[in-house]
Amino acid sequence: MENHNRKVYSFRWVVLAMAWFSFFVIAMAWYIMPTLEHELLDLYNISSSQYSTALTIPFLVGGLLSLLGGMLADNIGIKKTASLGSLIAGIGIILRAGTGSFLSLLLPMMLVGVGIGLIMPNLPKIVSVWFPPEETGLATGIYNTGLMGGLSTGLVIAPFLPSWQLGNYILGSIVIISGILFFLIVKNSPPGKKLPPITILEGLQTAVKSKSAWLASLAVMTALAGMVSFQGALPGGLNKAYGIPMSKGGQITSLITYLGILGSLTLPYFANKLKRRKLFIIILPISFSLIMYLTWIFGYSTLAIWIGTGLAGYLAGGALPLLMEVPTFLPRNEEDPVQEQHVGGVSGMLTSLMNIGGFVGLSFIVMPVIINFGYNWGFLVAALLFALQSVFAAGIAYPDN
């Protein structure tokens, strides 16, 4: 029996690894776009505004479908739902190879959003099932590095793809394979452990009564609005304002998330160790926004841009895991209405608003400012959006505060 328990206990890391890999490959395939912005404008005969809409539309679709993804998992299981999401996203990436019009890019990217909507709300849920309470923060931080690492890798590898069309065929196939592996390897829950029978809609009804759930959801919404705006517009901005080649601009932008991975693995640890999670979640976003904007304004030295972007990325990386952990620890707050069986509902609400923020931020707020007033004002707005999460996060009731 002891050996059996040990095997089940260690298998949680396999489940986490598969969740990480699924997140990583979708994000990587998706985010080859910012580095290739100028090329895509010609290939699809689109404007900068249409490009930003196509880049961020998966956030909107994913946000709108997150609740559906959670409800589907309630009926057919987490692994079937997440695997289906990877399959649909992979098909979308492959179909993106067709060029010539705005719809040729927009519709496949909407399919990517469908896949994200099926996957994202179920990752916190699977963590809450497989990991003990003291490890949920670590597990959340690890799988979020899949998203961050994938975004960065997409920015870096884009110039080295054989072509836009062939690159999409390759990357789309990898995404589909990740879904097949997830289905074959992952189990919905450890043997003998089941969540109480409850649907995500029932969980959502409880989630909307939780002040901390609302504050965390609004915080990640503004966070992603600001972050996606920087990631989506910075390569082009560096090229136009400072003459930095798009390929190098993509590499610089990737530091936000590559160094963010290091931040997500270290800063939440210190926040938990020092029992100062609320303090960290207030300081880190403000620090990122200040350093990132000053780096942009005074970026007359390429070395300074590299250093400033990397430092800002490291600090930003610690914020999202602290917020994404909120659904898993709310059941430990006696005054909060959320219980363990409601985690899926809270996660659905959080991921819905987060993804909507990722879409609205660049397409409807920052890009129009850039087009009409220039990059200085656009990135100032992006910095303010990211920093705004501190205001919401300050009201969250953490267990150690």
pLDDT tens, residue order, the chain (401 aa): 444 444 456 888 998 999 899 989 999 999 999 989 889 999 999 998 899 999 999 989 988 887 777 777 777 888 899 999 999 999 999 999 998 899 999 999 999 999 998 888 777 777 778 887 777 767 777 877 888 789 889 989 999 999 999 999 999 999 999 999 999 998 887 877 665 555 667 777 888 888 999 999 999 999 999 999 999 899 999 999 999 999 999 999 999 988 988 888 888 888 878 888 889 999 999 999 999 999 999 988 899 999 999 999 999 988 888 888 787 778 777 788 877 767 767 877 887 898 889 889 998 999 999 999 999 999 999 999 999 999 999 999 877 65
CA gap 49, 37 in Å, rounded: 11
Return the half-sphere exposure (C-beta side, CA atoms, 13 A cut-off) of residue 34: 30
CA gap 126, 187 in Å, rounded: 9
Torsion 114-119-124-126 (CA) sign: positive
pLDDT of 368: 93
Which domains are delineated in the chain? 2-393 (1.20.1250.20)
Return the half-sphere exposure (C-beta side, CA atoms, 13 A cut-off) of residue 273: 7
Query: Maximum Cα–Cα distance for the chain, whole Å?
Result: 67
pLDDT of 195: 55
DSSP 8-state code for residue 366 = I
Q: Taking Cα atoms as reference points, which of 156, 183, 5 lies closest to residue 79?
A: 183
Kind and range of the H or E run holding 323 = helix 319-324
Q: Taking Cα atoms as reference points, which of 186, 164, 140 lies closest to residue 29?
A: 164
CA gap 286, 282 in Å, rounded: 7
pLDDT of 196: 52
CA gap 117, 96 in Å, rounded: 18
